[in-house]
Amino acid sequence: MTLEYEIDDSVIKQIPFSVSHLRKFFASGKTRSIDWRVHQLQQLKKMLQENESRFFDALSLDLHKSEQEAWTSEVGFLVSDIKHTLKHIRHWSQPRMVPTPLFAQPGKSYSLPEPLGTVLIIGAWNYPIQLMLAPFIAAIAAGNCAIIKPSELAVNSATLLAELIPQYLDTDCYQVITGAVSETTALLQQRFEHIFYTGGETVAKIIMKAAAEHLTPVTLELGGKSPCIVDKDTNLKVTASRIVWSKWMNAGQTCIAPDYILVEEGFVDSLVSALRLKIEEFYGANAMESQDYGRIINLRHFDRLTQYLEGQNVVYGGYIDRNKKYFSPTIIVSQDDQSLVMQEEIFGPILVILPIKNKLDAVRFVNERAKPLALYLYTNDKEFETNVLQSTSSGNVGVNDGMMFMANANLPFGGVGHSGMGSYHGKTGFDTFSHLKTIMKRSFLFDVALRYPPFNRLKLNILRKLL
């Protein structure tokens, strides 16, 4: 079932009042209570757990996600995130003490996390529950009021969030706005204390321009072409399993999926054979019949992906069914790094393999392009591993695995350069939605007059030794 949002003028007209309403309740101090925040997080966890099957159904309708994939990458991921946040929120909220220099003694210095205010979170369609609620969890924990705007492309998931969140959370402090471009445009005309956006570069530029009008800070979680370097000195069987899992989960519609592989010429055939075996082991000879293989979100993205195959050397897959939005797992081997498929983020089930003369060329190739959101390296060569880690820049790195860094709430997640700015997850997400207010408290005792006029050479000489 495919649904579409129609422009609702009443929703657009209500947006300024919704923002004003949230500001009023933030000013009341309601969200500053840690106990209150804990209750809201517990309610969010309860919402996910009590409506698990409904989330599974929505994700299946939007993206043909299997129940296990929906659990591990969306619902279960979020439940785990909430548990981690609940475990640490009181510690994160405590004053953070730092040393006080001798010349300011007696005294103490610390920073105190305080909520930013009313924030806007704009989600993405490829993981429509996770990428909407993960930053929302951080915003709640930090004590903010928030408007969340789910992606209109994953309409079943967005509709479910709009229905359930008011049933479980405080509507004086949290609101869901559904809709498409018009609603998002209206939201961006309002002033927020922070805007958090997950999506593509084009929209990110629009958001930054709108935020600049109000001097609003932004967190941008984007994407780009995430490279995968495969050294012939690797465990090929495990490498193939992990690449196939991370590439074709959600039919490749993942911002941190490997976009292309750099591999030495003599190892290409072995790698392709290993990948083919794993694809068919995971999804069968015909992935269309697999309950575990996803579908493309809509026909616009389906047609975009189809264009990437034109004139390419497809060595595996390439089967499509536009009516069913089915695009098979596909492997291309190409010598042309200037082709269309290598100029844009693929964001789909096409994997490009680029042969290189030697593995050191991989570092050069990556560094000649925009900094990616993720970089993957498969090798047993420690020296080469060190070389890649020290010589390349990316938002995140996976060594001998794909995407697993997402499962560690202690690791910040975010991009660099064209792949984004800012980060979140765990304490980092709490800090993203907080202002760390610096405080120095001093005693009235021992008020040494060295800093006060009138000045003289003796005072200056003493200060030179103290500072």
pLDDT in tens, 110-161: 999 999 999 999 999 999 999 999 999 999 999 999 999 999 999 999 999 9
d(C-alpha 463, C-alpha 164), whole Å: 62
Question: Which of the following is catalytic: 152, 221, 345, 385?
Answer: 221
Compute CA distances 374 → 226, 257, 315, 329, 397, whole Å.
Answer: 5, 8, 25, 21, 6
pLDDT, tens only, 75-118: 999 999 999 999 999 999 999 999 999 888 899 999 999 999 99
Q: Residue 221 catalytic?
A: yes
Q: How many CB atoms lie within 10 A of CB 461?
A: 9
Helix and strand totals (H; E) in the chain: 16, 20
The one catalytic residue among 69, 145, 255, 345: 255
156's tokens:
């079943």
pLDDT value at residue 449: 87
Range name among 199-213, 223-237, 442-456 with the lowest pLDDT average = 442-456
Q: How far apart are CA 57 and CA 43, in angstroms?
A: 21
Beta strands (DSSP E) in 222-349 are 227-230, 260-264, 314-316, 320-321, 326-327, 330-333
Q: What tokens appear for 24 in the block? A: 């009023």
173 is catalytic: no
Query: Which ranges of 284-417 does DSSP label H, i.e. alpha helix?
Result: 299-307, 360-367, 382-391
pLDDT tens, position by position, 332-349:
999 999 999 999 999 999
Residue with tokens 């096409």: 350
Q: Residue 422, by phi and psi: left (phi above 0), alpha (psi -120 to 50) or beta? A: left
How far is residue 14's CA from residue 176's CA, in Å, rounded to a whole number?
12
Give the pLDDT of residue 139: 98
Residue 1 clears pLDDT 60, i.e. is over it: no
CB 424 within 8 A of CB 134: yes
Residues 186-207, buried b or exposed e (16+ Cβ, 10 A)? bbbebebbbbbbbbbeebbeeb
Section 260-289 average pLDDT: 97
Confidence band (pLDDT; 50, 70, 90) for 7?
A: low
Q: What is the mean pLDDT of the chain?
A: 96
Please list the residues that pair with 112 across neighbouring strands: 437
